[in-house]
Amino acid sequence: MSESNGSIFEDAIKRLDKAFEYANIDPEALEKLKYPKAVFQVSIPVRMDDGSLRVFQGARVRYNDTRGPTKGGIRYHPDVNIEEVKALAFWMTCKCAVVGIPYGGGKGGIVVNPKELSKLELERLSRGFIQQIADFIGPETDIPAPDVYTNAMIMGWMMDEYSKIKRQHTPAVITGKPIPLGGSLGRDDATGRGAYYCIKQLEKHRQWKPSEITVAIQGFGNAGQHFARLMHKDGYKIVAVSDSRGGIYNATGFDVPSLIHAKNETRQLKAVYCEGSVCEAVPADTITNAELLELDVDILVPAAMENQITEENVSRIKAGVLCEIANGPTTSTADEILAAAGKLVIPDILANAGGVTVSYFEWVQNKAGYYWPVEEVHQKLETIMTREFGAVYAIMEQHKISMRTAAYTHALTRIGEAIASQGTSTYFAKA
Ligand code: GLU
């Protein structure tokens, strides 16, 4: 896996130094958090359907496991690189601490465009990756999950492969599995739902009337779709959405269930209104992903990839509130400019933490062998998101800092306390 884009990890950990000022933890804890615990790079030979052999590059990073087994998704993407996986694993460490679930952070990736592979090739690749990393993962060691371009079926193949290698049914090694293979109800919409619960809290602070609030969403994958669906149901006006090919805009708002229906039927984003399965086109402007970010809306939701809001376009962002469903959509420089402009950014490590939170519920259910109804999953997720949003908001107000720095402060305090519980130089010097 290539080392290009070295700055994304360096940029990610810059946020630590800022939060350190407010977290009141030992400097040794901070030092520990600047490096990943382990980085595994593997080659995965795959027999292709035409009989040829292709060797794919993959990696798994275990960033920090002080608070529990490392946890985080596996990304399939042609551009994924090792610095990005390190950054994503670092964010997972902070994310799990923000929501207070007993995990550290990890992440994996394979350099591949899954759309170019047949289903059988995809299965062989997924099983091949697990064969290479089986010694480094496990229910008490490192627990993968879905991420960009991986899904429940891939998680099912991976769990099955791991169970075969260990000769023991081991559902808790991986989360985001299909329900019949030990997946949790409510995991599919958990990331979008977690972000929605954050907005519901902000709604109270700002006394918003949903029908007066406009929302633009960049990215119409799993998380973006579910977020849009829940917001639309509450009356928010979803005026723009996009996928990797571009976006659509209509100032009066879209009927989100129709957009989801059309996208699932045709794999394309279309401005439509559907009655049952009959859809008709509605007026809309075609916009680019870059234009979507700069729309004059109340809430902007980056729900696609990292590095979308940068020094270059940040001054043109008009939305007053940003809710980061993607991991790392804003660079650290852009971040400071947004904060100085008085915009409120619900940071990724809080806004998208619903996914890993329900992954945790899935792992708990697998270990207990006892499964919860969906209402219980929703209610437990809402309790956690509401509690942690409140804690981060209070830190923000107390220190008059950005919500991102507040979230890192919250995470750093929890991780720092765990590290300090094993002793720091202050403790050992006294011995
Ligand atoms: N890939 C998701 C994330 O970035 C989920 C990780 C998980 O469930 O472990 O948060």
Examine the fold and report which residue of 128, 148, 180 is the final residue of a domain before the chain moves on: 180
Q: Which of 296, 331, 351 is the last residue of a domain?
A: 351
pLDDT band at 6 (very low <50, low <70, confident <90, very high): low
User: 10-19, 82-91, 155-164, 200-209 — which is least confidently predicted?
Assistant: 10-19
Question: Which of 353, 315, 346, 354 lies closest to 329 in space, CA to CA?
Answer: 346
Supply the pLDDT for residue 247.
97
Nearest residue to 392 via CA among 357, 345, 358: 345
Give 22's Cβ-side CA count (13 Å radius): 23
Q: Determine, yes or no, domain membership for 30.
A: no
Q: Per the domain annotation, does 276 fall within a domain?
A: yes
Is the domain of 90 the same as that of 235? no
Residues, the chain? 431
253-273 confidence digits (pLDDT tens): 999 999 999 999 998 999 999
What is the 135 CA–ligand 1 centroid distance (Å)? 21
Q: Same domain, yes or no, for 45 and 160?
A: yes
∠ CA 408-341-213 to the nearest 5 degrees? Answer: 90
Please tell me whether residues 227 and 343 are part of one structural domain: yes
404 found inside a domain: no
In this structure, of 7-16, 131-140, 409-418, the range with the lowest mean pLDDT score is 7-16
Last residue of a domain, one of 180, 201, 234: 180
Radius of gyration of the chain (CA): 21
Rounded distance from Cα 94 to ligand 1 centre (Å): 12
Q: Does residue 224 share a domain with residue 261?
A: yes
Question: What is the whole-number distance in angstroms between the Cα of residue 26 and the centre of ligand 1?
Answer: 28
Residue 71 bridge partners (DSSP): 143
Q: Please state the domain count of the chain.
A: 2
Indicate if 332 and 199 belong to the same structural domain.
yes
Position 431 in a domain: no
Shared domain for 174 and 61, answered yes or no, is yes
The CATH number given to whatever domain includes residue 43 is 3.40.50.10860
Tell me whether residue 401 is in a domain: no
The pLDDT value recorded for residue 4 is 56
Mean pLDDT of the chain: 96
Q: Is pLDDT above 60 for 40?
A: yes
Instruction: Calculate how far, in angstroms, residue 134's C-alpha sits from the geometric centre of ligand 1.
Output: 19
* Mean pLDDT of the 39-59 span: 98
- DSSP codes, 220-246: -SHHHHHHHHHHHHTT-EEEEEEETTE
pLDDT computed for residue 424 by the predictor: 83
Say yes or no: 332 and 255 in one domain. yes
Q: Which tens digit of pLDDT belongs to each residue from 313-325?
A: 999 999 999 999 9
Residue 82 has what pLDDT?
A: 96
Q: What angle do CA 346, 343, 5 make, to 5 degrees?
A: 65
The pLDDT, as a whole number, for residue 427 is: 82
Compute the distance between CA of residue 73 and CA of residue 105 in angstroms, rounded to an integer. 10
Average pLDDT estimate for 199-208:
98
Binned at pLDDT 50, 70 and 90, residue 393 comes out as very high
- Containing domain of residue 97, as a range? 38-180
Query: For residue 147, which atom of ligand 1 is closest to its CA?
Result: 1
Is residue 2 over pLDDT 80? Answer: no
Model pLDDT, residue 426: 80
Question: Do 337 and 253 sit in the same domain of this protein?
Answer: yes
Kindly give the number of the ligand 1 atom that is closest to the alpha carbon of 175. 8
One domain, residues 144 and 220: no
pLDDT value for 330: 96
pLDDT digits (tens, 9 = 90+) for 23-33: 988 888 899 99
pLDDT digits (tens, 9 = 90+) for 341-375: 999 999 999 999 999 999 999 999 999 999 999 99
131 domain residue, yes or no: yes
Q: Are 163 and 215 in the same domain? A: no
Rounded to an integer, the average pLDDT of 278-305 is 97
For residue 218, which of 236, 235, 238 has the smallest C-alpha distance? 238
Choice from 65, 70, 92 to test ligand 1 binding pocket (greatest atom count within 8 A of CB): 92
Q: Give CA–CA dist 29/13, Å, rounded.
A: 13
Q: Give the span between the Cα atoms of 418 and 2, in whole angstroms.
A: 33
Please indicate whether residue 326 or residue 430 has the higher confidence score (pLDDT). 326
Ligand 1 contacts (CB < 6 A) are 71-73, 145, 147, 175-176, 327, 352, 355-356, 359
- Give me the catalytic one of 71, 95, 107, 237: 107
Has residue 216 been placed in a domain?
A: yes
* 107 counts as catalytic: yes
Do 161 and 237 share a structural domain?
Answer: no
Ligand 1 centroid – CA 356 distance (Å):
5
Pocket test for ligand 1, best of 359, 363, 365, 366 (most atoms within 8 A of CB): 359
Asked whether residue 255 falls in the same domain as residue 125, the answer is: no
Average pLDDT over residues 407-430: 90
Residue 77 has pLDDT above 80, yes or no: yes
Structure tokens at 421: 């519980």
Return the CATH number at 311. Answer: 3.40.50.720
In a domain, 420, yes or no: no
